[in-house]
Amino acid sequence: MGEREENFIEWLNNVLFTAQIYDYRYPVKGMGIWMPYGYKLRQNVINIMRKLLDKTGHEEVLFPLLIPRTMLEREATHIKGFMGEVFWVTRGGKSRLDMELALRPTSETSMTTAFRDWIQSWKDLPLKVYQVVSVFRYETKSTRPLIRVREISTFKEAFTAHATSEDAWRQFREAISIYKRFFNALGIPYIISSRLPWDRFAGADETVTFDTIMPDGRALQIGSVHYLGQRFSKAFDAKFMTEKGKYEHIYQLSYGISERVIASIIAVHSDELGPILPPNVAPIQVVIVPIPYKEVEEAVYKYARRIYDELKRRRLRVHLDDDPEETPGSKFYKWERRGVPLRVEVGPRDLENGGATLVRRDTRERLFVKLEQLAEEIRRTMRVMLREMKERAWREFKARLKPAKSLEEIGEVVKNRMIAIVPWCGSEECAHEIEDLTGYKILGKPLRKPRKSRDKCPVCGRSSITILYVGRSY
């Protein structure tokens, strides 16, 4: 068991900086810098999400960061949940502001304000928008890079408005399906669960979350979908005219993902050296490293450049590392630690044989490929690699989900860095007891009830009607 499992957060912090993804040394707690390489990774990941959202009729918008206190306080349950963690702007220049302004912790209130202005009749519905922005939470718990930050600098938040509750629930299922496709595209395994009532988003009638598992066994919530119903539309008086000419309040959802997805990519696809970036989002998919020998140095560099030009022309994200002052071995190590999925080595023998040696970052497999087939072989390898990375991640993930039939077993399972699957009678009292007696957290229950079993609730001993996921979580 290595650093990654034993001391995950420190490992993550080091890897993020070594790979030049995210610099967490910024002198404000819980805030970090996306470095050029990390920014590209982030963009590639966001663009997968954008495509999924655009295809399903969502449109991108950009709202102001600042939310006036009165707006944020308008829906009572919501503000109750967020009040403790809002950053407040109270001064401009030397003047005290008349109205304190919140750095948005989330945007339900400003969106509903705009929806009220934008939506007149049923013809304007459904309305589906999203934005990718920073949101701010004054976290009092320990902050962790990308995982628990005070500036969530990559928050994709979607908001929809519907004429009927049926249509809103249909959208709820669509949102879940979009997130499934998103995490599948990145090979990140997950469980989908419904939060118990006291654990829902502040203002939601139902919250479904996606959780993955970090190498230290803790669950990480990486996506959530909230059914808001008419709670906000009633508080903000956001109405529309129905086909029959009556006025009704809109039905709303919100759903979000954050840079935790980047943390997950790195946590899930990595080894002792660092990240293995999925080829579909890697900023550099292929690094070319020439291996010059005396007397054929010139020829090798020239040949490497030719390969670079060809791969570039074939629209691969390729980098040529031909610095003559660094050894090939040092380059191999450097690019492995930056997570580049494929390496092309070009030595005198490759030159002689009219090809190059392709090396996979994950399996270290080596393959000599003729120049004419190189681009095609790289594409094929990237596809295979992504599929195998995904399969490996799911295998490891599933091995960390373990049934536990008693409170003692829950303790053992969680101590062994796993998530416990616990039979449950359905009573909220027993759920509270499970959390109180084990000290662990209930992530939620599955969306559909599992097949009938003869298991008993570990608290009251009655027959279980479903299960709960229990573990430690970030």
Interacting residue ranges for a second copy, rule: CB under 8 A: 23, 25-28, 31-36, 39-40, 42-43, 59-68, 71, 83-95, 99, 101, 103, 110, 113-114, 117-118, 129, 134, 136, 138, 140, 150-151, 153
Those residues whose C-beta lies under 8 Å from the C-beta of residue 312, and which sit 6 or more positions away, are 318
- Cα dihedral: 428, 432, 434, 435 (round 10): 140
Nearer to a second copy, 140 or 452 (CB): 140
Query: Tokens 């993902």 sit at which residue?
Result: 257
CB of 138 to a second copy, least distance (A): 3
Nearer to a second copy, 65 or 371 (CB): 65
CB of 79 to a second copy, least distance (A): 12
User: For the chain, how big is the Rg over CA atoms in Å?
Assistant: 25
CB of 122 to a second copy, least distance (A): 13
Which of 337, 441, 389 is closest to 11 using CA atoms?
A: 337
Nearer to a second copy, 64 or 439 (CB): 64
At residue 448, φ and ψ (nearest 5 deg) are: -105, 145
CA distance linking residue 104 with residue 313, whole number of Å: 43
Nearer to a second copy, 14 or 427 (CB): 14
287 and 17 in contact (C-beta within 8 Å)? no
Look up residue 202 and give its amino acid.
A
CB of 123 to a second copy, least distance (A): 9
Tokens of 120: 């007149």
208 and 176 in contact (C-beta within 8 Å)? yes
187 and 172 in contact (C-beta within 8 Å)? no
- Cα dihedral: 5, 8, 12, 13 (round 10): -150
Look up residue 225 and give its amino acid.
V
Which of 309, 305, 306, 317 is closest to 342 using CA atoms?
A: 317
Nearer to a second copy, 46 or 470 (CB): 46
358 and 318 in contact (C-beta within 8 Å)? no
Nearer to a second copy, 119 or 418 (CB): 119
CB of 35 to a second copy, least distance (A): 6
CB of 80 to a second copy, least distance (A): 13
CB of 309 to a second copy, least distance (A): 17
Nearer to a second copy, 43 or 427 (CB): 43
Nearer to a second copy, 129 or 222 (CB): 129
CB of 45 to a second copy, least distance (A): 13
Strand partners, 193: 209, 446
- 10 Å CB burial of residue 402 (0-12, 13-18, 19+) is middle
Which of 182, 372, 373, 155 is closest to 278 using CA atoms?
A: 182
